[in-house]
DNA sequence: CTAATTTTTGTAACCGGTTTCATCACCGTA
DNA sequence: TACGGTGATGAAACCGGTTACAAAAATTAG
């Protein structure tokens, strides 16, 4: 590997000059710069990132905190792949890379000094690598770790969960508004007995989508019936049991808004098992627009999130803080617009 | 941040001793070691990874090459998430991290010395970071880049694509055997007119699954009819059109083995549109066991791959090479066992 | 033409570790 | 008691960059 010293020597200049050619090109005279650049190309020179990070104290990597340990159960993030694509390509554009933080007991305990406050070792890794910032994906059980990051002063962007700290912000969909779109659509189809299968109230999307549901009904002058509000946990099974309960009500709803597509799929199966046809007997609208939404029978009408937009927005927020330096203002939380995708499960589909 | 110098000073020993405590504990006297360890814990000392990488020339990161640029189309890896989980947790256990290599023009051209031989900048990043090894996920159009890696002498493990090089190996499913399971299952149900929707012949899984199909038929003494071999590209649309052609045959097959679930889903839709019932009129078996397989109607019988096993096996292979050093033998290619998952689309489901 | 500026370049310290080699203390043995 | 050997420790070079500061060169002003 060519080093900066060799390059400098061959160009007949000092190391400092070579370094400047790549970092502050304007401070080098055009002809020197050109000579160095040509030689660099010829030798296929690449500055070593570790050396650079060591010298500057800041790496060109952003950490991704995504706890996989809880995922043994088979739960999957609904759109991790899109999120990663968005994240990666946006970071890429700034010359940054994404480091997936390995965590878990195994990784942690073989290291020097496992800290009690950081049981799974996230913060540990971040410190060791001088990461430029972190992106947090909620796994539902990392609240403590997230708080640690948010307070640490490191640029920090969370996905779908509110965090608070000096340089912390987050990205969500316009959950309330999205829920409103769904409910208004059902209202527009003439439904008045509209139930919801909500997400957990302690999660941001769960709470906001429920609020949006309530607001939309209120706005239309339709009273909210508490027996029409079932709470699920975003998993499929919870949608299934919630739907069963709703259909068993003395006066069952004619339409259901499920706050997540996985739950909507569960609800669909429950309806089928109860001999209840969708959308004829009960209309159904979901939220997320995951891949299977288009494949189930009937295809699910749902509120689509801008999946790769999450990644792009998160990257943008991190980069703004990183490149702006400590003085830069922390970006405001981002709310991504949602889109209602009308398919068959709501009974409003155009004839095919 | 505490540095090794501070720590050494506070312990009244030299830096070298502190370094040894963490790297070759046996070479330090028990009482010195204990003193240093206690102090390290007290100060919450963490060795800086960049400095360490710089000094040793080898980082504790493994690169993940996964080109997202081709993915604008909406294509997704069938089980990226499981793969990542397996990869990450296995690397974790060795104290290694996964670096997603940012690539693409944008990232590359703002860097020093973009190389022609490495148009998207993978190799570039690997060199800059002194990565310990790389894992390659085939995106169908990275053959040149993959070859570069494989030849480079860096530990290199590819997923689902054969690569050749001094320290390169790969992980696939037992594709031929898996296809055999599917075909034998159909034979066992009495089918003799069994067609296949194959993957692209230039891909490893495509070729091997087709070979497995042929072998299973041959073994059963059923001649392979070339008009029963349709080639798709693993995308859904290709499965759709292939199925349409097969059903339009003068003597259509009574069963179809699709070499990928996406194509199987396409085939299912095509059958439905052709008024052909599955499994009554035509039985269908897929390959992969992606999430939607269980959700389509009828639920898809398919050959399941050990999805997170890919990640674990890849990690194991990389770590074997990394920790074994240059002298260690390159691990043989891994073939993961597959499992036939019988659902409804083949007509053999147990009564519910 | 000289002095004052401004631009360009070089010197050297520094980032935080690892590792080679030399030294020193301590051990058992002759 | 002197000696060779072993194990523990320290001094210093090194990894490959960045950057503060000083010096030199080029430019401008007077």
Separation in Å, CA B211 to CA B159, B194, B199, B305 = 19, 14, 11, 18
| A298 and A185 inside one domain | yes
Distance from CA of B215 to the nearest CA of A (A): 33
Residue A15: which pLDDT band, with cuts at 50, 70 and 90? Answer: very high
CA A32 to chain centre: 46
The answer to whether B259 and B209 are in contact (CB under 8 A) is yes
Structure tokens at A334: 């981002």
- Is residue B78 in a domain? yes
The pLDDT of residue A145: 81
Return phi, psi of residue A283, to 5°: -85, 155
| B190 and B301 inside one domain | yes
* Bridge partners, residue A173, by sequence: A336
Q: Measured from the CB, is B186 under 7 Å from any atom of strand D?
A: no
- The SS3 call for residue A134 is strand
Domain that holds residue A38: 4-47
Residue nearest to nucleotide D26 (CA to C1'): A29
Walk along chain B (352 residues) and give the pLDDT tens digit of each residue. Answer: 899 999 999 999 999 999 999 999 999 999 999 999 999 999 999 999 999 999 999 999 999 998 776 545 566 788 899 999 999 989 988 989 999 986 654 444 444 444 434 545 778 889 899 999 999 998 766 777 888 889 999 999 999 999 999 999 999 999 999 999 999 999 999 999 999 999 999 889 999 999 999 999 999 999 999 999 999 999 999 999 999 999 999 999 999 999 999 999 999 999 999 999 999 999 999 999 998 898 888 999 999 999 999 999 999 999 999 999 888 999 999 999 999 999 999 987 644 3
DSSP H helices in chain A? 4-11, 15-23, 30-43, 49-56, 80-92, 105-109, 122-129, 143-152, 175-188, 204-219, 236-247, 261-273, 307-324
Residue nearest to nucleotide D15 (CA to C1'): B55
pLDDT at residue A107 tops 60: no
**CA geometry: angle A75, A305, A66, nearest 5 deg:** 40
**CA geometry: angle B235, B239, B242, nearest 5 deg:** 135
Which of A168, A171, A170, A172 has its CA nearest to residue A330? A168
Which of A307, A266, A272, A273 has its CA nearest to residue A290? A307
The pLDDT of residue B7: 95
The answer to whether A148 and A311 are in contact (CB under 8 A) is no
The pLDDT of residue B21: 95
The answer to whether B169 and B317 are in contact (CB under 8 A) is yes
**CA geometry: angle A234, A238, A239, nearest 5 deg:** 80
| B85 and B150 inside one domain | yes
Number of domains making up chain B:
3
Inter-chain touch A92–B113, beta carbons under 8 Å:
no
What share of chain A has pLDDT > 70, as a percent? 91
- CATH code of residue A206: 3.40.50.2300
The answer to whether B209 and B175 are in contact (CB under 8 A) is yes
The answer to whether A114 and A179 are in contact (CB under 8 A) is no
Inter-chain touch B103–A93, beta carbons under 8 Å:
no
d(CA A27, CA A14): 14
d(CA B318, CA B99): 14
The pLDDT of residue A140: 67
d(CA B170, CA B336): 11
d(CA A66, CA A68): 6
| B193 and B266 inside one domain | yes
Residue B89 contacts A, CB cutoff 8 Å: yes
Which of B267, B261, B262 has its CA nearest to residue B236? B262
d(CA A148, CA A156): 10
Say which of B97, B128, B297 has its CB closest to residue A48.
B128
The answer to whether B93 and B20 are in contact (CB under 8 A) is no
The answer to whether B317 and B331 are in contact (CB under 8 A) is yes
d(CA A43, CA A35): 12
Inter-chain touch B51–A49, beta carbons under 8 Å:
no
In residues, how long is chain B? 352
- Is residue B54 in a domain? no
The pLDDT of residue B145: 81
| A118 and A88 inside one domain | yes
| A297 and A321 inside one domain | no
The pLDDT of residue B172: 96
- Is residue B218 in a domain? yes
Q: pLDDT by residue (tens digit) across A169-205?
A: 999 999 999 999 999 999 999 999 999 999 999 889 9
pLDDT at residue A75 tops 90: no
DSSP H helices in B44-174? 49-56, 80-93, 105-109, 122-129, 143-152
DSSP A236-265: HHHHHHHHHHHHTSSS--SEEEESSHHHHH
- Is residue A10 in a domain? yes
Q: Could you say which nucleotides of strand C lie within 7 A of any protein CB atom?
A: 7-20
Q: For chain B, positions 195-234, list CB contacts with chain A under 8 A.
A: none
- CATH code of residue A35: 1.10.260
Return phi, psi of residue A325, to 5°: 80, 180
Tell me: cis bond preceding A76? Omega within 30 of 0 counts.
Answer: no
Residue linked to tokens 């779109």: A181
- Is residue A343 in a domain? no
- CATH code of residue B33: 1.10.260.40
| A197 and A162 inside one domain | no
- Is residue B196 in a domain? yes
Distance from CA of A97 to the nearest CA of B (A): 5
Q: Which residues 75-134 in chain A have a CB closer than 7 A to strand D?
A: none
The answer to whether A144 and A115 are in contact (CB under 8 A) is no
| B284 and B322 inside one domain | no
Mean pLDDT value across residues A226-245: 96
Q: Measured from the CB, is A325 under 7 Å from any atom of strand D?
A: no
Packing angle, helices B122-129 and A49-56, rounded to 10: 60
Using the structure, give the distance in angstroms from the CA atom of B27 to the C1' atom of D4, rounded to a whole number: 21
The pLDDT of residue B76: 77
Segment (H or E) for A334: strand A334-336
| B185 and B283 inside one domain | yes
CA dihedral of residues B316, B317, B323, B326 (deg, nearest 10): 180
Residue A78: which pLDDT band, with cuts at 50, 70 and 90? Answer: confident
Domain final residue, candidates A287, A305, A323: A305
Return phi, psi of residue B259, to 5°: -80, 10
d(CA B34, CA A144): 31
d(CA B182, CA B174): 12
- Is residue A136 in a domain? yes
Mean pLDDT value across residues A302-311: 96
Say which residues have a Cβ less than 8 Å from residue A232's Cβ, sequence separation at least 6.
A197, A198, A199, A200, A238, A239, A241, A242, A258, A259, A260, A263, A266
CB atoms within 10 A of CB B29: 9
- Is residue B245 in a domain? yes
Q: pLDDT by residue (tens digit) across A237-248?
A: 999 999 999 999
């Amino acid at each position: 590997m060519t080093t900066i010293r060799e390059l400098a020597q061959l160009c007949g200049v000092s190391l400092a000059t070579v370094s400047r050619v790549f970092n502050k090109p304007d401070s080098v005279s055009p002809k020197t710069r050109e000579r160095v650049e040509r030689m660099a190309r010829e030798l296929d020179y690449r500055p070593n990132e570790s050396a650079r990070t060591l010298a500057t104290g800041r790496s060109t990597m952003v950490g991704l905190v995504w706890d996989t340990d809880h995922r043994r159960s088979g739960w999957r993030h609904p759109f991790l792949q899109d999120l990663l694509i968005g994240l990666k390509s946006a970071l890429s554009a700034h010359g940054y890379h994404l480091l997936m933080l390995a965590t878990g007991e195994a990784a942690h305990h073989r290291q020097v000094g496992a800290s009690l406050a950081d049981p799974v070792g996230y913060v540990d890794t971040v410190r060791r690598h001088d990461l430029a910032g972190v992106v947090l994906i909620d796994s539902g059980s990392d609240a403590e770790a997230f708080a640690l990051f948010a307070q640490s002063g490191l640029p920090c962007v969370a996905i779908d969960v509110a965090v608070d700290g000096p340089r912390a912000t987050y990205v969500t969909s316009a959950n309330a508004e999205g829920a409103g779109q769904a409910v208004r659509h059902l209202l527009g189809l003439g439904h008045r007995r509209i139930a919801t299968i909500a997400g957990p109230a302690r999660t941001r999307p769960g709470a906001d989508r429920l609020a949006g549901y309530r607001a939309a009904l209120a706005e239309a002058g339709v009273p909210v019936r508490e027996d029409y509000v079932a709470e699920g946990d975003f998993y499929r099974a919870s949608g299934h049991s919630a739907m069963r309960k709703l259909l068993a009500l003395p006066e069952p709803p004619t339409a259901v808004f499920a706050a997540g597509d996985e739950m909507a799929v569960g609800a669909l199966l429950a309806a089928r098992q109860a001999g209840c046809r969708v959308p004829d007997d009960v209309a159904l609208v979901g939220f997320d627009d995951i891949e299977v939404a288009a494949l189930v029978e009937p295809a699910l009408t749902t509120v689509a999130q801008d999946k790769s937009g999450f990644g792009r927005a998160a990257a943008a927020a991190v980069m703004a803080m990183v490149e702006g330096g400590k003085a830069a203002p922390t970006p405001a939380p981002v709310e991504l617009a949602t889109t209602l995708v009308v398919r068959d499960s709501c009974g409003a589909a155009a004839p095919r």
